[in-house]
Structure 1
Amino acid sequence: MQFKKKLLVFPTSRVIRELISKQKSENTLLPSTLTIDEFFKKSITLSNLKYCEEEQRVLFLNEAIKNIDIKKLGISDNFTKFLKQSDYIYRFFLELSSEKVEISQIQDVDTYDFYLEHLQILQSIKTNYINILENNNYVDRINIDNHYKINQDFLQKFNEIELNFEGYFTKIEFDMIIKISELIDFKIIFYSNSYNQKSLEVFKDLDLEIKLDYKYKLDLTNKKILEEIPIIDRLEFLETKGFSSRLNQIAYIKSSIQICINKGINPSNIALVLPDESFASYIELFDDENYFNYAMGKSIRNTNLYQIANAIYLYLSESEIKNISNLEFLRIDKKVIDEKIKYLWNKVISKENFLFVTDFIKSKELNVELIQKYDELLYKLNIILFSRQNNILLKDVYKIFLQKLVKITLDDVNSGKITVLGLLETRAMEFDAVIICDFNESFIPKISIKDKFLSTKLKQLSNLPTQFDRENLQKYYYKRLVNSSKNVFISYVNSDINQISRFANELFEKRIITDINDNFYKHILYDNHKISHFEQDIIEKIDLTKFIWSATSFKIFLQCRRKFYLQYILKIKEHTISLKPKAYELGEIIHSILEDFYTLNDNFDDLNFEKIEQLFTKYQSKNPFLILDLEIWKKKLYDFYLLDKERLKNRKIIALEKNFDCLFNGIKIKGVIDRIDKYEENYELIDYKTSSTLSVDTLKNYEKSDDFQLEFYYIAMNQFFQTNKIKAYYYNLNETSLIEEEVLNEKLDLLSLKFDEIKEISKGEISFSKCEDKSNCIYCSYKIICNRE
């Protein structure tokens, strides 16, 4: 005789894992367990019909709307847009079918015919959709009531079923349960509070008195109450805090965890609940301590696989420069895309073509778990797309593929002990401490998309769940979660456009104080040291004649002695976490590209711009702000290439990045000359400039100049080659022009006088004062020290 046992049914697999984990240490057989979704699937059979998966459903719905003007519903018939909007239609049909309500019944209660046209359109779509399902031997939740039978073979394995009910039974689901309870002893455990009375209406025909704030165990087979236990509120500690921004809540979350640990709470019994699960990506960024594990899994958006798949879609949808650059950045062979995929984009898909595209995307991914889940997705899509004739274009298939791909998540293994989960994952769970963030009106209760087509009043008259009913169900989940936890920490955003959820005043007896608490916690996320500005004069005896001057250090000394002191005497290094590139970074890359270009091309008659393009790949920056700049400069350097190739027909480059170290007026100077050309008997020194604001001194203003770079170069060349036949040029790469230093001799005389001044002030104490012209401070790295923000 076969041994029968009890089957336990729970709302989520997480509850089952917790139950099994607790029983592993006990000397007992583990119980048979299922989630409620698995239980319903196993408890029925579908008479050899195939269950319609989501991907196939979209195709069937798209077929069902043909020749129907769905724009009157506010829904586009464009396939790409319909992909996103089809869910509105399906959820509406699903709600009606689940509650056994026909569209004709809604029309009967719509006495003023406000929704007549919409309902007629929806009826036509529903009729078409069900016909398509039936004709193709498919069933889904829309028409399941007409086809399912109770699976007695499965149920006979058990002598009793005990279901932990947390939520809402549709009429179809409860009908299934009633039929099952007639075949096997069926118990239901549930909680009753003020927010789930609508859900408990399914028991009203049992003629049982169900009181508020009690836990019940019902014998559904014999229609009697087995247990009636008052709900005990476990809550011992409650705290609510408001913050000016969402991110600042993360500091409070970390602080709450520390409080819990100090109380001796096991980290595994602490939960962080996210009303908006997308906030997990921000939590992850700040999880330096590795506190958290993510019940919803980790997004694949930043993986090679998804990045490549999305980049191909963006490029084939719109081949603008940013999408082409994205292909290059991800090292995707654009030639393969253009020659093997692009011409198929607007053609009907074939299995071979789809396989080629998906294999190409997979080729650069190394994560074994992701590849496995990717292959599972492709297996499903292949069955749906190619098991029957589908005249669907590659671009439309690709959109379905991309929508499904982004939903893949990777299991969060080897991570922290504190669980991060969404509201529905908390059902039937108990924690010693719960932290709930984003307790705002915009997230709690969450707005449903099921109310698109009908008003609340009409749904009420039609015996359909209303928005109010769904909001109450969410409130039930929160109340159960809070009352079953000992410690609760609530955070919310308090700003001009955000406010704490009104539900907070219902849920918590304690009065909510709406202060903003950012300053009490921000030190947790940010090293926020108080800055003491140094206002005293700096006067020291330093012999600047012993200093080896570069054109840059000399310019800084002339502009601001305080900056010179901080940078070159104290050697305080600049520190920043900004992604924005420094002013010199772009220039350094361009200088390196041009140096390599001319070094690699000994034969200047054979200059080739393709080599410049290759060098841009070599010096490719990971800084997102520089990627676009470098693409722009790649175009600009083509004009430079043409001009310079013409110049070099009668000139010769004799030096690149030439270092020098020499004396001028008794003071050492140093530097690097970008380039030296020789033209007949003359030497031309060249300084590359990428700045868009290049200005050159003239006879009218040179006496106020602080830029002597070309003069430094001239002095070095004069000593190298023992000649005065030297011309100095700025090569304006931004505008592709050569600009000669007009006042070279005058500035050399001025430089000599400046060096005389250095000799003179070095005899005594030097005041390293702040500059008078505060325009120099705008981009200065030391402006905070000087209190010139």
Structure 2
Amino acid sequence: MQNSFLNRIITELLFQNKDLSQFTIVLPGKRPVVFIKRILAEKEYSGLLPDFLTIEELIQKIAGQQQIQGIALWLFAFEVYRNIYEEDFSNFLKWFQTLLKDWDDILKFADDEREVLDYMFAEERIKNWGENLGEHTETRKRNLDFWRKMNVFLPELKKKLHEKGWATSGMIHKIARENIENFTQNTQDKLVFCGFNAFTPVEESLVRNLLQWDKAQCFFQADQYYIQDERQEAGKFLRKHRNWKEFNENRDFKWIDAEFSHPKNIKVFEVSGNITQTKVLPEIFKEIHSENLSDTAVVLLDENLLPASLDALNSVENLNITMGFPLKNLAFSNAVKHIFYIQKQLEKNTGSYYYNDILAVLEALPNDKGDAEIISKFNAEITERNMVYLSASRLQEMLGNLSFFELFQKAENAPQYLDLLVKFCLKLKFKNLDDIQFENISHFEKSFRIIKNQISTYTFPIKMETLEVLINNLVNTETIDFKGEPLQGLQIMGLLETRLLNFKNVIMLSVNEGKLPLGNSQNTYLPFDVREKHKLHTFLENDSIYAYHFYRLIQESENVYLMYNALTSGVNTGEKSRFITQLEMENPHRIEEIIIENTSEPVDAQPIKIIKTSSVLERLEEWKESVSASHLTGYLYDPVQFYLNYVLKTRESDEIEEELSQRNYGNLVHFSLQVLYERIKGKVLTEKDLHDLITQIDEALNISIEKLKHQPEFYQRGMNFVHKSIAKRVVENIIQQDLKLVKEGNRLEIIELEKEFENLEFFLDDDKADSVKFRGFIDRIDRLNGTLRVIDYKTGKAKNLNLTFVARGNNKTETLLMDDKFKQALQLCIYLYYIQNQPDLHVSQVEAGIWSFAEVNSGVQVLNFNDGDLDSAMISIKNLILDILNPEKAFEEKLKADFEF
């Protein structure tokens, strides 16, 4: 790894004094310390080490105040606020964190914080602002009310924090400002400021005062490329620093180099997809020799890409991660969020658990064998019974033996529940966990302890909803920091972690506008003009800071690889960073642009073919013993799926339906009709019979719901309530249609319902040596005015029930029903074949038809033979079966183009 800048600083300091313990080195962050120590070892330095401080630590030392932040500050601030105004804690946190950032900015940058608050409360300014938005009274009132409260609350918060000896980051800067002169006059330290770009006013005042007293040195890492060009925002702050009066003929501005103009290999990759960027990494590493890995950095501008990047780099032996990983992306964090959501619902006495909340916890937690068996059984049962909502007693019955079941029980109070969670985390840490899981669980164990200790000092009630808000803010804002051996191997880091460090090879991902620079996306209640007027940083200053980090990182590199996601999706606009555009237009180096397409085309566009081996043919012989119409129509739709379902006998696992599926909607109507008509089967129907059935529909629906193994609660809300209502209307309309027939003087008799048949032999050759055996269910068989009707209920509309058989060649092979669009007709033909072979049912007049739930009032739509008859249809069905059994014909997947729409 190149460390020329740090090396030069150490060389300079050793030239000044062989004993570096005289110096205090001030850095932007702690990470460069380990590299400074290595440089000292390489130079065989044997004295005492200098002190190392970050600029924040130095400011805090000067202020002499203890910083308060995070949960401790949120709770303290709310206690102050609720003593002035009424507010719910969850609502308070929605705006306080953004306000706190603004307040700290005001304290750090503004000359007078009171002036900014007064300005924000100025009615005329808010009036003009509201009118510019096209809104008037309500907008103005809300904003006036907000800033009126803030003008009271923020000074009071500041006062109360002072009384406790605590301070926010902004307050520490404010206090340090008052102590700078005294500190600079009295300190005996020799301070060395290394690699800074932008300072806050307090930091700048400190550095300049120390320079004036000749108690400090300042080393900047700048390059002529962006310092000399006034248009380059990367040099904006450094140009100002160079003009300080403290830099003169006696004290040079150190250092401005000309590294950026040295030859570089720069490649820009336009990649379609976010994760796809990580797939390019192995290709890039083919250009980088393994001995150069320690001089290579992979910089992730989107921290969410870390897992995918690690997967892509699994072949790299030595790899060091120096960045934070978002807590919200880890499984245990997700489980904790759901645990607190469940507790909030219990606190509201909802009386039931949502299955997905329970599963989210069960699936995310490490489980031993005993718990895994209980969870597996639970999954199977809720899937079988389609249990979307579970009562407390049912959950106890199903999961009561789970080792951590008490987490799902209603908490007595917040401190008791936090204790329970701490014990649970401790127990989990003794399981076989990977490093990330262990860190994730340890982080929450610590946080639960802190929250419990913090809330114990406050008088306002801590509800589970309050805890949920605290936990969600914790999960959404915090990261787990990875630390490793930064002196060897490939480095994976965020952009800020690269400060003061240089690499020969730099690979940067997500170089998109909005990621680099962040642009005008900061959360703030202070408009741009207010920030500008009171000298607070706007997005323009932030862009300049990130521009410097970007150019500084690549100025000493030799190979630069920049990737951006060109795919527009979600919040990503697919726009490359303007820093890339600036490089392309202004920099002296040639840039190679590469486009990486992420197509959705299948790897093999050829249809799947499954040859009928001897074992497949044996399975087909077994299949012939039980053939249904759905098997045949399934083959017509997709032969490969037929093979999977009926030859291999595989099936997709059931899933819980949050909304009633079309299949189960049809079952609900089927079962209800069966329940009702069973009561009047075998008799000639009267008007009274049918009127009575109408009054029994609700009861029949409830019986059907039980038969489906669904919970009644499933149908009590949302779309499922609508589906049940529609099913009730369909059942009633079918009864009304029968009632209409009876009222018109027709004789109607129900013969069979859900009639099951099997072992119905059908011969495939003239010698009757080869046959299949049909099976099936006929929804309804009735007799209308002497005509036997075979009726099949369908959820969808009736289609293609008029058959015209045409001879194909001299052998008159019939193939009409070997077409998926005639699947309803095919099914009815098999039912008619069954009737034809039942002497007890056979009558001279018989017909088959479809009764569609989508067209109930059209009644039974009858199958018609325009040319040919049932015998012709059965020849067509025989040929279809022979096609399935043909050993020379493979099961071949039907591609989209094969289907007719």
Q: Same fold by TM (over 0.5)?
A: yes
Query: How far 1:527 moved relative to its partner?
Result: 7.5
Give the partner amino acid of 1:554. L
**Distance verdict in 2 for CA 1:183–1:762, change over 3 Å:** closer
What is aligned with 1:383? 453
**For the residues of structure 1 that align with 2:393 and 2:886, how far apart are their CA atoms?**
71
Equivalent residues of 1:255, 1:521 under 8 A apart: no
90-99 or 107-116, which moves further after superposition? 107-116
Query: Secondary structure of the equivalent of 1:490?
Result: strand
Give the partner amino acid of 2:292. N
Q: Are residue 130 (structure 1) and residue 158 (structure 2) matched? A: yes
Task: Give the TM-score normalised by the residue count of structure 1.
Answer: 0.65
> Which residue among 559, 570, 579 is the counterpart of 1:503?
579
What is aligned with 2:467? 397
Query: Secondary structure of the equivalent of 1:84?
Result: helix
Q: Are residue 782 (structure 1) and residue 864 (structure 2) matched? A: no
Q: Are residue 335 (structure 1) and residue 413 (structure 2) matched? A: no
Q: Are residue 89 (structure 1) and residue 94 (structure 2) matched? A: no
**For the residues of structure 2 that align with 1:489 and 1:350, how far apart are their CA atoms?**
51
**For the residues of structure 1 that align with 2:164 and 2:778, how far apart are their CA atoms?**
75
> Which residue among 132, 137, 144 is the counterpart of 2:172?
144
Query: Secondary structure of the equivalent of 1:192?
Result: strand
Matches within 5 A, 1:336-485: 350-356=414-420, 367-410=437-480, 418-447=490-519, 452-454=524-526, 456=528, 459-485=531-557
Give the partner amino acid of 1:752. M
Query: How far 1:188 moved relative to its partner?
Result: 3.3
**Distance verdict in 2 for CA 1:765–1:238, change over 3 Å:** closer
Q: Are residue 752 (structure 1) and residue 763 (structure 2) matched? A: no
**Distance verdict in 2 for CA 1:677–1:257, change over 3 Å:** same
**For the residues of structure 2 that align with 1:93 and 1:687, how far apart are their CA atoms?**
75
**Distance verdict in 2 for CA 1:716–1:140, change over 3 Å:** same
**Deviation digits for residues 115-172 of structure 1 (CA, Å, limit 9, x no counterpart):** 796876644332122122124442222332566679x99xx99975544233422233
What is aligned with 2:7? none
Q: Which has the larger radius of gyration?
A: 2
What is aligned with 2:136? none
**Distance verdict in 2 for CA 1:564–1:203, change over 3 Å:** closer
122-131 or 440-449, which moves further after superposition? 440-449
Give the partner amino acid of 2:876. K
Query: How far 1:385 moved relative to its partner?
Result: 1.7
Query: Secondary structure of the equivalent of 2:459?
Result: coil
Equivalent residues of 1:327, 1:334 under 8 A apart: no
Query: Secondary structure of the equivalent of 1:330?
Result: helix
Equivalent residues of 1:344, 1:394 under 8 A apart: no
Task: Give the TM-score normalised by the residue count of structure 2.
Answer: 0.58
What is aligned with 2:237? 198
Give the partner amino acid of 1:58. W
Equivalent residues of 1:4, 1:157 under 8 A apart: no
Query: How far 1:405 moved relative to its partner?
Result: 2.7
What is aligned with 1:114? 125
**Distance verdict in 2 for CA 1:472–1:393, change over 3 Å:** same
**Distance verdict in 2 for CA 1:733–1:430, change over 3 Å:** farther
What is aligned with 1:664? 763
What is aligned with 1:52? 68
**Distance verdict in 2 for CA 1:669–1:706, change over 3 Å:** farther
**For the residues of structure 1 that align with 2:313 and 2:32, how far apart are their CA atoms?**
25
What is aligned with 2:247? 208
What is aligned with 2:356? 326
Equivalent residues of 1:275, 1:438 under 8 A apart: yes
Q: Are residue 267 (structure 1) and residue 343 (structure 2) matched? A: no
**For the residues of structure 2 that align with 1:565 and 1:387, how far apart are their CA atoms?**
67
Matches within 5 A, 1:244-255: 245-255=273-283
Equivalent residues of 1:249, 1:491 under 8 A apart: yes
Equivalent residues of 1:98, 1:170 under 8 A apart: yes
Query: How far 1:259 moved relative to its partner?
Result: 3.1
> Which residue among 236, 252, 266 is the counterpart of 1:238?
266
What is aligned with 1:490? 562
> Which residue among 288, 299, 307 is the counterpart of 2:335?
307
What is aligned with 1:776? none
432-441 or 178-187, which moves further after superposition? 178-187
Equivalent residues of 1:80, 1:399 under 8 A apart: yes
**For the residues of structure 1 that align with 2:238 and 2:201, how far apart are their CA atoms?**
11
**For the residues of structure 2 that align with 1:659 and 1:417, how far apart are their CA atoms?**
70
**For the residues of structure 2 that align with 1:660 and 1:28, how far apart are their CA atoms?**
95
Equivalent residues of 2:343, 2:408 under 8 A apart: no
**Distance verdict in 2 for CA 1:759–1:28, change over 3 Å:** closer
Equivalent residues of 1:252, 1:491 under 8 A apart: no
Equivalent residues of 1:270, 1:434 under 8 A apart: yes
**Deviation digits for residues 234-255 of structure 1 (CA, Å, limit 9, x no counterpart):** 5520122334554554454453
**Distance verdict in 2 for CA 1:28–1:432, change over 3 Å:** same
Equivalent residues of 2:414, 2:462 under 8 A apart: no
What is aligned with 1:682? none
Equivalent residues of 2:102, 2:526 under 8 A apart: no
**Distance verdict in 2 for CA 1:765–1:11, change over 3 Å:** closer
Unaligned runs of 5+ in 2: 1-18, 128-143, 228-233, 363-389, 397-405, 432-436, 609-616, 669-702, 733-750, 782-789, 806-815
**For the residues of structure 1 that align with 2:888 and 2:711, how far apart are their CA atoms?**
47
**For the residues of structure 2 that align with 1:588 and 1:112, how far apart are their CA atoms?**
62
**Distance verdict in 2 for CA 1:397–1:550, change over 3 Å:** closer
Equivalent residues of 1:440, 1:493 under 8 A apart: yes
Query: How far 1:343 moved relative to its partner?
Result: 12
Query: Secondary structure of the equivalent of 2:288?
Result: helix
Equivalent residues of 2:293, 2:490 under 8 A apart: yes
Equivalent residues of 1:687, 1:729 under 8 A apart: yes
**Deviation digits for residues 5-49 of structure 1 (CA, Å, limit 9, x no counterpart):** 755444334434555677789976695674616743774573xx6
**Distance verdict in 2 for CA 1:166–1:669, change over 3 Å:** farther
Give the partner amino acid of 2:73. R
Query: How far 1:396 moved relative to its partner?
Result: 2.5
Equivalent residues of 2:300, 2:510 under 8 A apart: yes
Unaligned runs of 5+ in 1: 71-76, 211-222, 535-542, 594-606, 617-627, 644-650, 679-685, 770-779
**For the residues of structure 2 that align with 1:181 and 1:489, how far apart are their CA atoms?**
39
Equivalent residues of 2:63, 2:172 under 8 A apart: no
Give the partner amino acid of 1:664. F
465-474 or 739-748, which moves further after superposition? 739-748
**For the residues of structure 2 that align with 1:163 and 1:663, how far apart are their CA atoms?**
94
Aligned residues: 696
Equivalent residues of 2:640, 2:893 under 8 A apart: no
Query: How far 1:477 moved relative to its partner?
Result: 0.6
Equivalent residues of 1:107, 1:113 under 8 A apart: no
Q: RMSD value over aligned CA atoms?
A: 6.9
Query: Secondary structure of the equivalent of 1:470?
Result: helix
Higher helix share goes to which structure?
A: 2
Equivalent residues of 1:244, 1:516 under 8 A apart: no
Give the partner amino acid of 1:390. F
What is aligned with 1:12? 29
Give the partner amino acid of 1:481. L
**Distance verdict in 2 for CA 1:590–1:433, change over 3 Å:** farther
Equivalent residues of 2:194, 2:218 under 8 A apart: yes
**For the residues of structure 2 that align with 1:668 and 1:729, how far apart are their CA atoms?**
27
Give the partner amino acid of 1:11. P
Give the partner amino acid of 2:579. F
